[in-house]
Protein backbone atom coordinates (compact mmCIF):
# COMPACT_ATOMS: atom_id res chain seq x y z
CA UNK A 1 0.00 0.00 0.00
CA UNK A 2 1.36 3.40 -1.00
CA UNK A 3 0.43 6.06 1.51
CA UNK A 4 1.55 9.50 2.55
CA UNK A 5 3.32 9.76 5.89
CA UNK A 6 1.25 11.59 8.48
CA UNK A 7 2.95 14.69 9.79
CA UNK A 8 5.59 14.79 7.07
CA UNK A 9 6.06 17.01 4.07
CA UNK A 10 4.00 16.36 0.98
CA UNK A 11 5.56 13.85 -1.38
CA UNK A 12 7.06 11.54 1.23
CA UNK A 13 5.44 8.18 0.60
CA UNK A 14 5.86 4.70 1.99
CA UNK A 15 5.30 1.22 0.68
CA UNK A 16 4.79 -1.74 2.98
CA UNK A 17 6.78 -4.85 2.18
CA UNK A 18 8.06 -8.14 3.62
CA UNK A 19 11.40 -8.28 5.43
CA UNK A 20 13.84 -10.98 4.30
CA UNK A 21 17.18 -9.69 5.68
CA UNK A 22 16.97 -7.08 8.42
CA UNK A 23 18.75 -3.74 8.32
CA UNK A 24 18.49 -0.22 6.95
CA UNK A 25 19.61 1.34 3.70
CA UNK A 26 19.21 4.83 2.33
CA UNK A 27 20.37 6.39 -0.90
CA UNK A 28 19.95 6.75 -4.61
CA UNK A 29 17.75 4.10 -6.18
CA UNK A 30 18.60 2.13 -9.32
CA UNK A 31 15.52 0.49 -10.83
CA UNK A 32 15.22 -2.22 -13.47
CA UNK A 33 12.37 -4.48 -14.52
CA UNK A 34 14.90 -7.03 -15.80
CA UNK A 35 16.18 -9.94 -13.74
CA UNK A 36 19.87 -9.97 -12.80
CA UNK A 37 22.38 -12.81 -12.93
CA UNK A 38 24.86 -11.68 -10.27
CA UNK A 39 27.50 -14.16 -11.40
CA UNK A 40 27.63 -13.32 -15.11
CA UNK A 41 26.13 -9.84 -15.57
CA UNK A 42 28.23 -7.89 -13.07
CA UNK A 43 31.86 -6.95 -12.72
CA UNK A 44 32.40 -8.02 -9.11
CA UNK A 45 35.31 -5.65 -8.46
CA UNK A 46 33.41 -2.52 -9.58
CA UNK A 47 29.71 -3.35 -9.25
CA UNK A 48 29.16 -2.33 -12.88
CA UNK A 49 26.65 -4.22 -15.02
CA UNK A 50 28.71 -5.60 -17.90
CA UNK A 51 25.99 -7.47 -19.82
CA UNK A 52 25.26 -5.38 -22.91
CA UNK A 53 21.68 -6.62 -23.30
CA UNK A 54 20.64 -5.45 -19.81
CA UNK A 55 18.97 -2.07 -19.34
CA UNK A 56 21.48 -1.26 -16.56
CA UNK A 57 24.46 -1.87 -18.87
CA UNK A 58 27.49 0.20 -17.77
CA UNK A 59 25.71 1.37 -14.61
CA UNK A 60 27.04 0.65 -11.14
CA UNK A 61 24.95 -0.91 -8.38
CA UNK A 62 27.57 0.15 -5.80
CA UNK A 63 26.11 2.11 -2.89
CA UNK A 64 22.67 2.21 -4.53
CA UNK A 65 19.31 0.88 -3.43
CA UNK A 66 18.81 -1.79 -6.08
CA UNK A 67 15.22 -2.46 -7.18
CA UNK A 68 14.71 -5.44 -9.49
CA UNK A 69 12.29 -8.36 -9.85
CA UNK A 70 14.55 -11.33 -8.97
CA UNK A 71 17.86 -13.01 -9.70
CA UNK A 72 18.39 -15.61 -12.39
CA UNK A 73 21.14 -18.13 -12.95
CA UNK A 74 23.22 -20.28 -10.68
CA UNK A 75 22.96 -20.32 -6.91
CA UNK A 76 26.64 -19.34 -6.97
CA UNK A 77 25.21 -15.85 -7.54
CA UNK A 78 24.84 -15.68 -3.75
CA UNK A 79 28.61 -15.74 -3.45
CA UNK A 80 28.81 -13.06 -6.15
CA UNK A 81 26.65 -10.83 -3.93
CA UNK A 82 29.04 -11.56 -1.06
CA UNK A 83 32.01 -10.69 -3.32
CA UNK A 84 30.38 -7.34 -4.12
CA UNK A 85 30.22 -6.65 -0.37
CA UNK A 86 33.83 -7.73 0.23
CA UNK A 87 34.92 -5.45 -2.65
CA UNK A 88 32.93 -2.52 -1.18
CA UNK A 89 30.73 -2.24 -4.29
CA UNK A 90 27.52 -3.83 -3.01
CA UNK A 91 24.15 -2.10 -2.96
CA UNK A 92 23.12 -0.45 0.32
CA UNK A 93 19.86 -2.44 0.22
CA UNK A 94 17.87 -4.54 -2.24
CA UNK A 95 14.16 -4.47 -3.06
CA UNK A 96 12.75 -7.39 -5.09
CA UNK A 97 9.23 -7.95 -6.29
CA UNK A 98 9.72 -11.60 -5.27
CA UNK A 99 12.98 -12.53 -3.59
CA UNK A 100 14.58 -15.76 -4.76
CA UNK A 101 16.94 -18.09 -2.89
CA UNK A 102 20.05 -16.67 -4.60
CA UNK A 103 19.30 -13.07 -3.64
CA UNK A 104 18.07 -14.00 -0.15
CA UNK A 105 21.07 -16.15 0.72
CA UNK A 106 23.52 -13.70 -0.86
CA UNK A 107 22.07 -10.79 1.12
CA UNK A 108 22.06 -12.87 4.29
CA UNK A 109 25.75 -13.78 4.11
CA UNK A 110 26.71 -10.25 2.98
CA UNK A 111 24.44 -8.54 5.54
CA UNK A 112 22.63 -6.47 2.89
CA UNK A 113 19.09 -5.43 3.85
CA UNK A 114 16.53 -7.18 1.62
CA UNK A 115 12.78 -6.71 1.29
CA UNK A 116 10.26 -8.09 -1.16
CA UNK A 117 6.56 -8.40 -1.88
CA UNK A 118 5.92 -4.63 -1.96
CA UNK A 119 2.26 -3.65 -1.75
CA UNK A 120 2.68 -1.07 -4.53
CA UNK A 121 4.52 -0.93 -7.84
CA UNK A 122 8.15 -0.22 -6.94
CA UNK A 123 9.03 -0.15 -10.63
CA UNK A 124 7.25 3.21 -10.81
CA UNK A 125 10.04 4.69 -8.67
CA UNK A 126 12.42 6.64 -10.88
CA UNK A 127 16.11 5.74 -10.89
CA UNK A 128 18.03 8.56 -9.24
CA UNK A 129 15.36 9.18 -6.60
CA UNK A 130 16.27 8.84 -2.95
CA UNK A 131 14.60 6.14 -0.89
CA UNK A 132 15.01 4.56 2.53
CA UNK A 133 14.60 0.85 3.08
CA UNK A 134 13.59 -0.05 6.62
CA UNK A 135 14.11 -3.80 6.60
CA UNK A 136 13.34 -3.97 10.30
CA UNK A 137 9.73 -2.81 9.98
CA UNK A 138 9.02 -3.63 6.33
CA UNK A 139 8.77 -0.11 4.93
CA UNK A 140 10.18 1.53 1.82
CA UNK A 141 10.11 5.31 2.14
CA UNK A 142 10.25 7.42 -0.98
CA UNK A 143 11.54 10.92 -0.27
Dump pLDDT digits (tens) for 37-79: 999 999 999 999 999 999 999 999 999 999 999 999 999 999 9
CA distances from 98 to 35, 75, 143 (A): 11, 16, 23
Catalytic residue set:
74
pLDDT for residue 1: 43
CATH of 2-142, one of 3.30.1340.10, 3.50.90.10, 3.50.30.10, 3.40.605.10: 3.50.30.10
| Per-residue b or e along 121-131, where b marks 16 or more CB atoms closer than 10 Å to that residue's CB | ebeebeeeeeb
Contacts of 53 (CB under 8 A, 6+ apart): none
Q: How many CA atoms lie within 13 A of 86 on its CB side?
A: 10
Q: Is 109 helix (H, G, I), strand (E, B) or coil?
A: helix
pLDDT greater than 60 at residue 2: no
Determine phi and psi for 101, rounding to 5 degrees.
-65, -35
Query: How is residue 61 annotated by DSSP?
Result: -
pLDDT grade, residue 85 (50/70/90)? very high
**pTM greater than 0.95 (yes/no):** no
Amino acid sequence: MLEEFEGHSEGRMRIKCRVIVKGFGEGEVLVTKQAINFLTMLELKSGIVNYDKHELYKKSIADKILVFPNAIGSSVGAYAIYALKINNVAPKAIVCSKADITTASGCAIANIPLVDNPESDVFAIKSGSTIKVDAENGIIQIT
